[in-house]
Amino acid sequence: MLHTQTTLLAASIALALAAPVMAEEAEGDEAKVSYDETLQIIGRRDNLRTEAGSATLLDEMELEKFKYDDIERILAMVPGVNIRSEDGYGLRPNIGFRGVTPERSKKITLMEDGVLIAPAPYSAPAAYYFPLMSKMTAVEVFKGPAAIKYGPYTVAGALNMTTRAVPEFREGQIDLAGGSDGYFKGHGYYGDTIGNFGFLLDGVHIQSDGFKELDGGGDTGFDKNEVMAKLRYNLDSERFSQVFELKMVYADEDSNETYLGLTDDDFAANPNRRYAASAEDEMTWEHTQFQFNHFIAGDNFDLTTRVYRNDFERAWLKLNGFDAQNNPATDRDLSTILQNPNDGINAIYYDVLTGAKDSEQAFETLILGNNDREYYAQGIQTDLRIAFNALSLKHNLHAGVRYHEDEIQRNHTEDSYRMQSGRLVATGDATVTATLNTEQTEAWSVYVQDTLEWDKLQVTLGVRGEFLDMFYQNDQPGAEGDYLSKETNVWLPGASVFYHVNDDLGVFFGVHEGFVPTSPQQNPAIDNESSVNYELGGRYGDGNTQVEAVAFFNDFDNLKESCTFSASASCSDTVDQEYNAGEVDVYGLEFSASHTLRAGGLDWPLSLVYTFTDSEFQTDFESDFTMWGNVSKGDSLPYLPEHQATLGLGVAGNLWEVNLLVRYQSEMLEASGEGVTLSGVETAAFTTVDLAASYDFGDWGEVYGKVDNLMDEAEIVSRRPYGARPNKPQQFVLGYKLGF
């Protein structure tokens, strides 16, 4: 492994040294790429984008239409995205692409400004931290063969969020908004460039009292804060442009959120109810980020080096279940109780959960767990882009290398409570340590991708290498000898073809290998997730009209999932235990189109996004994983709606605009096979309408208003983690923005 690391480090240095020399040999006078463009995946320059894969860019203008805080609502405008909603606000989103499990967004590559942003991307990628969307000026989703550039998760694709850039001139804004359920947002930024030095300060505070109604009263809302500072220095010469930038971020959250949902009957009576047993549930976390970037560009090349460090600490006190006293006759998980609340002993548990009955017997004792975790992720990555001519072909070469380290330390404890007069009361028993362990990964990554252009044809060939050293240590007293180390080395090839039919129309085909590594604690008998992914599509763009249609087929050689509390899995023995399912096929169609009509002196923007997705297990197997159960060949994956559609309608004058967004999602399975709690259970299809409007008073600022869930539709969006969970009800927001 040391030899491999040395080779990769040498390759990184060679890329940096070779770039200016190769640029001198390139013919033509290509425009220099700006530093801010390198923070994005998808380019902006051409009407017809030629990326090797399905690509969607939501720029600042698109994000400003509805001023969403919730990434789940934003991604409704992107085809090929499957989401399992949980808290209604998108605090801890569950996002998947092209049928991969959406659980805590752990199977997509999450990035901010081109850098991995999950708490521990290799060791524990579940996204319990997610940045505030108010500070973002662009959101990009990229699927298909180009995913090999943005690993380690190449099965589905990449989500990159771009923060506000340091402005070239003095610029600032204040954004204040208030609304129903005690909603308040305060956002401000200010920046300037003086000579070669630039800076930006950006701060956001968002809070809400929450829309849930806790039995007996209590807070169900949240407070989130995020502060970002950027310092930039430009050092340009006749030959090169250079930028040095330091980015610093602090963020925190205090949310009274729970994994406990409702029975279906209680949901029908009041979808926003919360049981008394969840009164103490609370998540608190802090996140810090330091990122230093260096960028150098010539006429035909640019080289970006990023050094980064992310730290994340969280503690989630939440109801885990009942103390079954090691008796199988009284052992019930919360999901089973809420799915069958009138079944025998479940009726007793249900009455305790709702506060209708006091805890009397020992097995009626409630267990609250505090999942306390500390994460860090740090690394250095170098990315080269260069254009040159060779063998009568134009080449656009992308290459990069990254060294990354991350770690998670778990310290999960449990305390006993009794229900008394509708209130939780601590029993006074000693706190029990449930989980105490450490997982760590040291990872080298390298990729090379070359796009060869000949007349109207572009052929892209690439390969990604992932070289992982993983370590697991059980720190429970008496189990210190439980230690595991393992290596994973894999090469992931990809290829695509793009053909220009004319200046506005192109067709493309691609194939690439997908990969998701196992976590450090998994026994080597658990296989990595692997697949071969195909796509065939077409893209049209003339500046005013954009259309893209893509058919995809993901051929999983081995599907992998993990036992998590957020999936309502019983993980008391081994948190994040992983399971293999063998061969699975996922296939579908993605379509997106946008066009702006101009009539009556007004602009009428129209858009449509549609996704069809289906899946089939290719083998029979039995599993105690709660999302699978006993699977028969032909069964479908859970939380994968067959049909999704988003229709956007708008009208805009010189100073005002009104926009309407209509989203439809068909029913979803809660579990694939038989023999588990949610076997045969589905969520219902539902439609949500959002409305937004704004008026610009020029120097006096802008007033805006919006209504999320205009029709106040209430539907069960999921029965995980434990019980039925609602979508966010109707929410009114009125805001004011002043720029200076």
pLDDT tens column, 531-582 = 999 999 999 999 899 999 999 999 999 999 887 776 655 554 566 788 889 9
Question: In the predicted model, what is the mean pLDDT of the chain?
Answer: 91
In sequence order, the β-bridge partners of residue 693 are: 658, 705
Return the pLDDT at 2. 39
Residues in Cβ contact with 711 at an 8 Å cutoff, skipping those fewer than 6 apart:
687, 688, 689, 730
Return the pLDDT at 3. 42
pLDDT tens column, 622-644 = 988 889 999 999 999 999 999 99
Return the pLDDT at 6. 42
In angstroms, rounded to a whole number, what is the distance separating the alpha carbons of residues 149 and 4? Answer: 19
Return the pLDDT at 714. 96
In sequence order, the β-bridge partners of residue 414 are: 369, 432
The answer to whether the beta carbons of residues 212 and 220 sit under 8 Å apart is: yes
Return the pLDDT at 14. 41
pLDDT category at 46 given cuts 50, 70, 90 is low
Task: Count other C-beta atoms under 10 Å from residue 698's C-beta.
Answer: 7
Task: Count other C-beta atoms under 10 Å from residue 57's C-beta.
Answer: 21
pLDDT tens column, 83-106 = 999 999 999 999 999 999 999 999
Task: Give the residue, 331 or 188, on which the prediction is more confident.
Answer: 188
Task: Count other C-beta atoms under 10 Å from residue 333's C-beta.
Answer: 19
Return the pLDDT at 571. 53
**What pTM was estimated for this model as a whole?**
0.92
| Phi and psi angles of residue 144, each rounded to the nearest 5 degrees, phi first | 105, -160
Query: Domain of 440: which CATH number?
Result: 2.40.170.20
Q: In angstroms, what CA-CA distances link 261 with 13, 265, 266, 726?
A: 53, 12, 10, 9
The domain total for the chain is: 1
6, amino acid identity: T
In angstroms, rounded to a whole number, what is the distance separating the alpha carbons of residues 641 and 81? Answer: 10
Nearest Cα neighbor of 537 from 50, 1, 103 is 50
Percentage of residues in the chain having pLDDT higher than 70: 92
The answer to whether the beta carbons of residues 553 and 584 sit under 8 Å apart is: no
Radius of gyration of the chain (CA): 26
In angstroms, rounded to a whole number, what is the distance separating the alpha carbons of residues 655 and 566? Answer: 45
374, amino acid identity: E
In angstroms, rounded to a whole number, what is the distance separating the alpha carbons of residues 607 and 551? Answer: 19
Q: Which domain holds residue 491?
A: 2-739
Paired tokens of 207: 């809070």
In angstroms, rounded to a whole number, what is the distance separating the alpha carbons of residues 568 and 259? Answer: 8
Question: Above 50 in pLDDT, residue 522?
Answer: yes
- For 144: left if phi > 0, alpha if psi spans -120 to 50, otherwise beta; the answer is left
In sequence order, the β-bridge partners of residue 652 are: 603, 657
Mean of the pLDDT values across residues 503-507?
94
In angstroms, rounded to a whole number, what is the distance separating the alpha carbons of residues 522 and 589? Answer: 34
The answer to whether the beta carbons of residues 639 and 101 sit under 8 Å apart is: yes
Return the pLDDT at 26. 39
Residues in Cβ contact with 10 at an 8 Å cutoff, skipping those fewer than 6 apart:
none
Nearest Cα neighbor of 258 from 309, 208, 221 is 221
pLDDT tens column, 408-420 = 999 999 999 999 9
Nearest Cα neighbor of 676 from 569, 535, 571 is 569
In angstroms, rounded to a whole number, what is the distance separating the alpha carbons of residues 88 and 54? Answer: 28
In angstroms, rounded to a whole number, what is the distance separating the alpha carbons of residues 529 and 513? Answer: 11
Residues in Cβ contact with 624 at an 8 Å cutoff, skipping those fewer than 6 apart:
676
Q: In angstroms, what CA-CA distances link 419 with 343, 357, 370, 376, 432?
A: 21, 7, 18, 38, 19
Nearest Cα neighbor of 367 from 404, 332, 329 is 332
Nearest Cα neighbor of 248 from 304, 166, 125 is 166
Question: Above 70 in pLDDT, residue 43?
Answer: no
Task: Count other C-beta atoms under 10 Å from residue 203's C-beta.
Answer: 17
In angstroms, rounded to a whole number, what is the distance separating the alpha carbons of residues 431 and 372? Answer: 13
- DSSP H helical segments within 31-125, as ranges? 35-38, 60-66, 71-74
Mean of the pLDDT values across residues 163-187?
97
pLDDT tens column, 217-259 = 999 999 999 999 999 999 988 899 999 999 999 999 999 999 9
Element (H, E) at 13: helix 2-25
495, amino acid identity: A
Nearest Cα neighbor of 641 from 618, 608, 625, 663 is 663
- Which range, of 8-12, 279-283, 381-385, averages the lowest pLDDT? 8-12
pLDDT category at 30 given cuts 50, 70, 90 is very low
Return the pLDDT at 328. 86
Question: Above 50 in pLDDT, residue 402?
Answer: yes
Residues in Cβ contact with 692 at an 8 Å cutoff, skipping those fewer than 6 apart:
65, 66, 67, 658, 659, 661, 704, 705, 706, 707
Return the pLDDT at 33. 60
- Which range, of 2-11, 536-545, 565-574, 600-609, averages the lowest pLDDT? 2-11
What distance lies between CA 303 and its chain's CA centroid? 27
194, amino acid identity: I
pLDDT category at 457 given cuts 50, 70, 90 is very high
The answer to whether the beta carbons of residues 127 and 93 sit under 8 Å apart is: yes
Return the pLDDT at 210. 97
b (16+ CB within 10 A) / e for 67-83 = bbbbbbbbbbbbbbbbb
What distance lies between CA 140 and its chain's CA centroid? 11
The CA-based dihedral angle spanning residues 61, 62, 63, 65, taken in that order and rounded to the nearest 10 degrees: 90
The answer to whether the beta carbons of residues 606 and 661 sit under 8 Å apart is: no
Task: Give the residue, 7 or 137, on which the prediction is more confident.
Answer: 137
The answer to whether the beta carbons of residues 677 and 336 sit under 8 Å apart is: yes
Question: Above 50 in pLDDT, residue 1?
Answer: no
Return the pLDDT at 726. 97
User: SS3 letters for 226-246?
Assistant: EEEEEEEEECCCCCCEEEEEE
Residues in Cβ contact with 564 at an 8 Å cutoff, skipping those fewer than 6 apart:
103, 104, 126, 571, 575, 576
Q: In angstroms, what CA-CA distances link 216 with 260, 273, 275, 419, 719?
A: 16, 11, 9, 12, 23
How close are the terminal C-alpha atoms of the chain, in Å? 54
734, amino acid identity: L
Paired tokens of 248: 């610093």
In angstroms, rounded to a whole number, what is the distance separating the alpha carbons of residues 352 and 423? Answer: 10
C-alpha angle 265-270-274 in degrees, rounded to nearest 5: 95
Question: Above 50 in pLDDT, residue 664?
Answer: yes
Question: Above 70 in pLDDT, residue 21?
Answer: no
Paired tokens of 315: 């503690």
149, amino acid identity: K
Percentage of residues in the chain having pLDDT higher than 90: 83
Specify the pairing of strand 171-179 against strand 115-116: unpaired
pLDDT tens column, 305-316 = 999 999 999 999
Q: What is the torsional sign of CA 353, 357, 359, 361?
A: negative
